[in-house]
Amino acid sequence: MNMQPSASKMNVKEEIEELQQFIGHQVEEAGANGLVIGISGGIDSAVAAYLAVRALGKERVLGVLLPSHTTPSEDQEDAVEVVRRLGLESAHVPIADIITSFGKHLPEFDEGSLPKANLQARVRMCIVYYFANLKNYLVCGTTDASENFLGYYTKYGDGGVDIEPLINLTKTEVRSMAKELGIHERIIRKKSSPHLKAGHDAEEELGVSYEMLDRLLAKNKMAEHKKRPPVSP
């Protein structure tokens, strides 16, 4: 199965249309009934959900909300708002008790540690795939090009998906798409963070702002384009 749509020059309306077609084609090709998306209250999952509904209709998209003890109330409220605005069927599965259960059996289960943080992402993956199996759905990923470029995701966590519609869009481009899709402003404005531990800040952890990273990615795309040989008539 092709996890990635083909890259194209960014035109927001055209890109939305292309991604709708990509999502619809992948679901049809797989013989699946629809898509399941873990909705975090962040911009990437919101854009993915809006695109999925445009492609398939709200009846074929399931939003799964998976808050933990480190999920801010604002993110939980925004996730609920995405579901409400789209009219999605949803499942709400708090994972704090599940994580605590792991801690009873695992050594060095320290708050804020990388193993515990990544475990949250992997528990979410397991639950999302449970619902995918239950409904014969594909799992829709939410990783964008900026995060993919640096490997800023959890292997077998948020990286464990069937399709990645945003994988060729930088965070800046995702924000532009969110505006075009009519996603509410608080989600568009908020700082990105996976919130896998208290006070988790994506840009602080990456050591670079998304704005700077996206400029570097844009330059890299231009350089790669110049290296391509001309197409013979």
- Residue 107 maps to which CATH number? 3.40.50.620
- How many Å apart are CA 180 and CA 13, to the nearest integer? 8
Low-confidence ranges of the chain (pLDDT < 50): 1-2, 6-8, 222-233
pLDDT at 134: 98
pLDDT of residue 211: 81
Question: By C-alpha distance, which of 112, 133, 127, 137 is closest to 158?
Answer: 127
Is 22 among the domain residues? yes
The whole-angstrom separation of Cα 23 and Cα 40 is 20
Are 32 and 137 in contact, with CB atoms under 8 Å apart? Answer: yes
Report how many domains make up the chain: 1
Q: For residues 179 and 30, what is the distance between their CA atoms, to the nearest angstrom?
A: 30
Q: Is residue 1 part of a domain?
A: no
- Reported as a single tens digit per residue, the pLDDT across 27-80 is 999 999 999 999 999 999 999 999 999 999 999 999 999 999 999 999 999 999
In a domain, 232, yes or no: no
Report if residue 99 sits inside a domain: yes
2 within domain boundaries: no
| pLDDT for position 184 | 95
Report yes or no on 7 lying in a domain.
Answer: no
Q: Is residue 6 in a domain?
A: no
Host domain of residue 159:
12-227
Domain annotation covers residue 149: yes
